[in-house]
Copies of this chain bind each other. A is one copy, B any other.
Amino acid sequence: MKRATQATETPQVGRSVPRLEAAQKVTGRAEYVHNLRLPGMLYGKVFRASVAHGRIRRIDTNAAQAVGGVYRVVTAADIRAIVPEPYYGPAFHDQPILAIDKVRHVGEPVAVVLAADPHVAEEAAALIVADYEELPAVFDEVEAVTSRAIVHEVLKPAGTFPDLKHLKGRTNTNVALDFHLRRGDAERALAAADRVFEHTFRTQQVMHTPLEPLVSVAEPRESSLTIHTASQSPSFVRIELARLLGWPENRIRVRTPFVGGGFGAKLYIKLEALVAVLALLTRRPVKVSLTMEEQFFTITKHAATFKIRSGVAQDGRITARHCEVWWNGGAYADIGPRVTQKSGFTAPGPYDIEHVAIDSYALYTNLPPAGALRGFGIPQLVWAYESHTDLIARALGIDPIAFRRKNILREGRPQATGTPIADAAIDKVLERLAVTLEWEKPLERGGGTVRRGRGVAIGFKACISPTTSVAMVNLTADGSCIVYCGTVDMGQGSDTAMAQIAGEVLNLPAESISVVHSDTDVTPYDMATLGSRSLFHMGNAVRLAAEDARAKFRALAAEVGLADADAPIVEVFRKKYGMQAGNVIGVASFIPSYTPPDYATGLTPNATPFWMVGGTGVEVEVDTETGHVRIARLVNVADVGTPINPKIVATQLSGAAIMQLGFTLFERMEFDAAGQLRNASLAEYKIPGMLDLPGEMTSEAVAAEQRTGPFGAKGVGESGTFGVSPAIANAIEDAIGIRLTSLPLTAEAVYRALCAARGEPLGDD
C-alpha cells in the first residue's frame, strides 16, 4: 500500500477495478454479523408454530424454562409489557414480533428461548408445547379472494408508502391491496380485435437462499440500542424500531458490516425487532441467527397467478391487453403490496399497446410471508407475458423476434402508465439477442430422443420511486479519501463502484478510496439496498457529494493561494492548517423527481427514474424420454446504461441468470394440503450447482447511456433475471411442441406434459 497523495489522470469509471473487499473476503477477514460475539451475549432460539392457522390456546414453557442454563423464555405477553403494539411491517403493521392470539402460517415464531449457550437454547426450545384451536386455512392466491378463511380480521396500513392505498369499500381483508390501471378502453378494444388470446400462468413460491442466513444482534445501552444486523435496509430498521419503541431515531444505531447475499430477503424488519425487545427485556446483548430451514418460514418470493388477455390485429400489432395478477403474499404483507403496485404497472410488458387494463392483487394466505426477491415481481410477470407473446406469435405464424420487433416500446412512446420511455434500449436488446443467437440461421434440431429448440424473451422494470440517498465524501489531509454511504455491499460490488464514482470526480484512484459501511450513526440516510436502485440513487448522491468536496477543496486551494489544477492535496491542507490536519467534507442528497399515479386510473407521466431492460436467449436440449431439459446456451443481454465496472456488470448479469435458472428449472417450496412445508432444507430444496449451468453462457451490455445516472450508469442487479424463465419455456415448445404454463419446468413436468400430449396422462404425484 502506498500513500494516495497523487492525483491520477486514469479514468476511474468504465474500468474493471478489482473488488476493494476481495482480499478481505478470500482471507476470511471480512466482518460479518455471524462472527460477532459480545460479552454476556445470549442466544435466542425460536419456537415455531406447527399449524397453518390456529388460535393459540396455551403455550407451555415450563419444561423449557427448567432446562439448566436457560436464561429466560419469552412469549408475546412479555413483549407487550414493554411494547404494547408490537406489530411491524413496511406496508402494513400486521406482523407481530411473536405470535399474538393466533398463528397464521406453519413456522411462525411463537416463543424464544434465551441462553448463553445456543445449544441449550435449541434443546429447550424443542420442549415448548403449544395448543391451537385450528382455523380454516387458505393457501392459494386466487382462492384467497373468496375464501371463508380470513387471515387478518383488520387491515393496518403503515402509511409509509403514501401511494399505497387499498381501495375503499373493499370488504375481504384477504386482499391487502389492489392496484388498478386503465389506459384507453381495453374491453372495447378486445371486443373489436381481430384475434384475442387468453392464457393463465403460474409461478411457485421459492426462497432467496443467501449463503449467510439471517442474523441480528441487539446490544443494549442505558438509553440506547445498537443493532448489528445483516440487513439491506439499516435506515428502515432504525426508523421502524424507533416507531415500535416510541424512541427518537438517534437512540437507535443500526450497524451492517458485509452481508453474505440478500436478494431481498434481508429487507425491512426480519429479526431486528425480535432481538431489540429481547435485549431490552434482559438488558443483555442478544443474538438470533436462523438456520437454513428457518429461513423458509421467514421470507420467500411470491407465488403468483397471471391471467393475460390480448387483442391482436391481423398484421400482428397488439391493440389491447388486460392483465390480472394475484400475488400470494403469505401470512404477512411485508413489501408485497408494493410489488403489487410497482410491478403491477409493467404487467403488460415492454410493448406499445394503446388500450391497457391492469388489476393486481396482494393476497394474504396461510403460507410463509413473501417479499422482494431479485426482480421484485418482474420475473413472474415476464414469465407470463413473454410466454404469452410467444404463444401469440406462434398462433399467428409470425417469427417471435419479428413479432416483438413490431410491438416493442420505442424511445418516447408511452408505457402503460403513460410515462414516456426514455433511455430504455428495448430495441437494442432485442436486436442484439437476434444477432448473438444468429436468429436468422435455422437451428440444428438434433435427432433421436433429444430435441433442440431455442427461445427468447425480453423484460423491463421500473425503479422504486421516490426514494432518497444521502452520501458524504471526506477528503483527509494526507490526500486519502473516505466515502460514507448507506448502501450495503452484500456481494454486488457497490463499495467498488462508489469508490470509482468518487475517484472519477476527485481524480483519485478508486483503489485508494475507502468506503465506510452502513451504520446509521455514521452513514447518512439511504432508503435501502434493493431493486437495483443503489448505483443510480446512491451513485448520484456520491457523485454530487464528491463534487461538493471538490468545490470546497478548490475554494480552500484558492484561499491559500495554490492554483487548484496542480495543487497537491497534502500541500493545500498543510498550508491551511499548519500541520496534517482538517477535512474537506462534501455532502449531497439525491431524490429523483416522481409523479404518483392518479388514484382512479393508475396513470402517471413520471413513473420511474429509469428503466431496466433485460433479454435472454436460450438453446435447449430436451430429452423426450426423461423430460430433462439441458440449457445448451444462454445469452444475456441488458441495457445497464454505461457500465461503471464492466466486470462487475458481467458477473451481476450472469449471477442473476443462474439464480433465475434455479427458479425456472427446479426450485419450489412444496406444501402439503395442511400448509406444512415438505422440503425445508437444502438437501431437499435444490438450488443450481455447477452441473446445472448452461453449456455456454454470455452476458453482454448493449451500448447505452442513462443520461440521468452517474456517468451514464444505472442498476444491473436484476436485469439478468427477466427473460430466463419464458425463454426456456419458449425454447421447450420450440423443441418438442409442448407448452408449460407453470414454473418450475422440471423434468417431471415436461415428462407429464409429453405423456398428456400423447393421450397417456399420468396420475397425481
Contacts and interface: CB of A to CB of B under 8 A. Distances in A.
Interface string A227-264: 00000000100010010001111110000000000000
Given A160-B579, A470-B583, A587-B587, A23 B222 contact: yes
A651 interface: no
A746 B578 CA distance: 44
Interface in A184-235: 220-224, 235
B591 A249 contact: no
B29 A39 contact: no
A113 interface: no
Given A525-B581, A525-B582, A585-B524, A249 B24 contact: no
Say what secondary structure dominates the interface of chain A. loop
A348 B761 CA distance: 108
A250 B525 contact: no
A582 B522 contact: no
Interface residues of A, number: 67
B27 A248 contact: no
Interface centre among A224, A522, A576 (most CB of B within 10 A): A522
A256 B235 CA distance: 24
Contacts of A3: 242, 246-248
B247 A1 contact: yes
A239 B521 CA distance: 23
Contact of A585 (B39, B470, B580): B470
Interface stretch (A412-420, A474-482, A623-631): A474-482
A679 interface: no
Nearest to A579: B160
Counted per complex, copies of this chain come to 2
A116 interface: no
A391 interface: no
B578 A589 contact: no
Contacts of A365: none
A599 interface: no
A37 interface: yes
A4 B248 contact: yes
Nearest to A159: B579
A568 interface: no
Interface in A154-190: 160-162
A581 B512 contact: no
A222 B222 CA distance: 34
A2 interface: yes
Given A160-B579, A585-B587, A37 B35 contact: no
A281 interface: no
Nearest to A226: B31
A615 to B, nearest CB: 32
B524 A223 contact: no
A308 to B, nearest CB: 32
A437 B242 CA distance: 54
A470 B582 contact: yes
A246 B220 CA distance: 38
A513 interface: yes
A527 B468 contact: no
A69 interface: no
A625 to B, nearest CB: 52
A162 B574 CA distance: 10
B480 A250 contact: yes
Nearest to A36: B39
Nearest to A514: B250
Contacts of A514: 224, 250-251, 521
Contacts of A221: 24, 29-31
A671 interface: no
A474 B524 contact: yes
A27 B578 CA distance: 43
A498 interface: no
A525 to B, nearest CB: 5
A292 interface: no
A24 B5 CA distance: 42
A594 interface: yes
B594 A589 contact: no
Interface string A560-591: 00000000000000001111111101010101
A712 interface: no
A472 interface: yes
Nearest to A483: B250
A589 B582 contact: yes
A11 interface: no
A699 interface: no
Contacts of A525: 476-477, 581-583
Given A222-B24, A514-B224, A580-B239, A249 B585 contact: no
A247 B246 CA distance: 44
A466 B579 CA distance: 9
A474 B525 CA distance: 10
A583 B249 CA distance: 12
Given A251-B1, A577-B468, A583 B481 contact: no
A642 to B, nearest CB: 27
B582 A248 contact: no
A521 B524 contact: no
A136 B37 CA distance: 51
B161 A478 contact: no
A462 to B, nearest CB: 16
Nearest to A476: B249
A56 interface: no
Contact of A578 (B162, B242, B480): B162
Nearest to A556: B589
Contact of A223 (B5, B24, B513, B527): B24
Given A23-B223, A250-B481, 12 more contacts: A1-B246, A3-B242, A24-B223, A162-B578, A235-B581, A248-B480, A249-B478, A250-B512, A468-B582, A525-B581, A578-B594, A583-B589
Interface of A: 1-5, 23-24, 27, 29-31, 35, 37, 39, 160-162, 220-224, 235, 239, 242, 246-251, 466-468, 470, 472, 474, 476-482, 512-514, 516, 519, 521-522, 524-525, 527, 576-583, 585, 587, 589, 591, 594
13 contacts: A2-B248, A3-B246, A24-B223, A30-B222, A248-B478, A250-B513, A251-B514, A519-B522, A525-B582, A527-B581, A582-B591, A583-B589, A585-B587
Nearest 6 Cβ contacts at the A-B interface: A248-B480, A250-B480, A24-B222, A250-B514, A23-B222, A468-B581
